[in-house]
Amino acid sequence: MQQIISTENKPIKLWLKDIDIGAMEQAKNIANLPFVHSHIAIMPDAHQGYGMPIGGVMATDGVVVPNAVGVDIGCGMCAQRTSLSSLENRQLKGIMDLIRKNVPVGFKHHKKPQDSRLMPKLEKQGVRVADLPIVSSEYHNALTQLGTLGGGNHFIEIQKGSDGFIWIMIHSGSRNLGYRVANFYNKLAIARAESFGIPVPKNWQLACLPVDSDEGRLYLREMEYCVAFARTNRHVMMERVREALQTVVGPVRLGECINIAHNYASFEIHFHKNVLVHRKGATSARKGETGIIPGSQGMPSYLVKGKGNQESFTSCSHGAGRKMGRKQARRSLDLRKERKKLEDQGILHAVRGKRDLDEAPGAYKDIDQVIENQLDLVEVTVTLRPLGVIKG
């Protein structure tokens, strides 16, 4: 932990020293919410989000805040080790070409619905798709988005690990399904704020739903479906990448799949109370739990093992974190220099023109400093360096 701010109703515990003004203001807002439990934890990759900082962790008593989960519900990371120890450059290019043909990126989706048997099943929890109004209305569209990457900071990377093996890593979420659920319930929380009697200033963008209300219970069920859909989405893309590898290099074995979310809320016990922990751009880091902290393209990513630090609500960062906004990056970064950084490392990258500068290495914080700031939360087990990057 780098610092503690004690000027608000609840302490703010930060794992970074240089937080941007907007994110700090948002951290203070959530620290003054009447339903917050114990304190607020801000991870070392934190930056301004919508309502709550990305890289923020908040435990609440009795309510759920849709904007403290975010619009890409269930967004997260997937990583898998292959049995390969190396790839020739021509093989890497062939693999990436096949991935681009079989995995739609950006706003693209499949022309035909994917197999509905791949979709998440929640019947064991007594929940049917028909019981979920937004999920059921978006179900057909979701079938065409299953196994698609999306845009922004989502990526597929082929990497070389410090363990000597080639790895596959994917960052993606719940696509339009999570966006629709998030927006619907945030608007519902705003509309019902007065009847719920929970005072939250409108300009904070942190309207909430009581977890024991019909609206709160329904949001949590739809959120859980979106988390499961995002996990399945990453799994389907991983299968497509495996198929591309096998087409180019022959039989490939894959190790255990690490598939984790970093935008969700879950009931957990912290400081002797059962609370709802909101992680918005933060990863669970219980003692011994495996996590993934990616860098930007051009920077290494890390597999980590959690230390179970209660001060962060057993959480860690979800990545490097932005140090400049997308528009600022496009205006201020030098395209030639950013491309050279990547090409000097021999990386097959995705920075083609000025519009791609928002995802250039220079737009992100130093991942090694981010890791250094949270060594009380995790320990590094494998370092993964990018060989080829696909982005939307």
Closest by CA to 321, choosing from 251, 258, 373, 378, is: 373
How do the domains of the chain map onto residue ranges?
3-323+364-391
pLDDT digits (tens, 9 = 90+) for 125-156: 677 899 999 999 999 999 999 999 999 999 99
In angstroms, the first-to-last Cα distance of the chain is 35
Instruction: Write out pLDDT tens, residues 213-226.
Output: 999 999 999 999 99
When pLDDT is cut at 50, 70 and 90, the band that residue 124 belongs to is: low
Residue 122 has pLDDT above 80, yes or no: no
| Catalytic hit among 47, 262, 318, 349 | 318
Look at residue 64 in the predicted model and tell me its pLDDT: 98
Half-sphere exposure of 99 (CA within 13 A, CB side): 28
What secondary structure, in 3-state letters, does 13-66 show?
A: EECCCCCCHHHHHHHHHHHCCCCEEEEEEEEEEEECCCCCCEEEEEEECCEECH
Percent of the chain at pLDDT > 70 equals: 99
53-84 pLDDT, tens digit each: 999 999 999 999 999 999 999 999 999 999 99
302-323: per-residue pLDDT in tens? 999 999 999 999 999 999 999 9
pLDDT of residue 121: 84
| pLDDT band at 296; cut points 50, 70, 90 | confident
Give the tokens for residue 231: 């996990």
Q: What is the pLDDT of residues 1-55, one digit of tens each?
A: 999 999 999 999 999 999 999 999 999 999 999 999 999 999 999 999 999 999 9
Pick 3-323+364-391's CATH classification: 3.40.50.10320, 3.90.1860.10, 3.50.30.30, 3.40.47.10: 3.90.1860.10
Q: Is 318 a catalytic site residue? A: yes
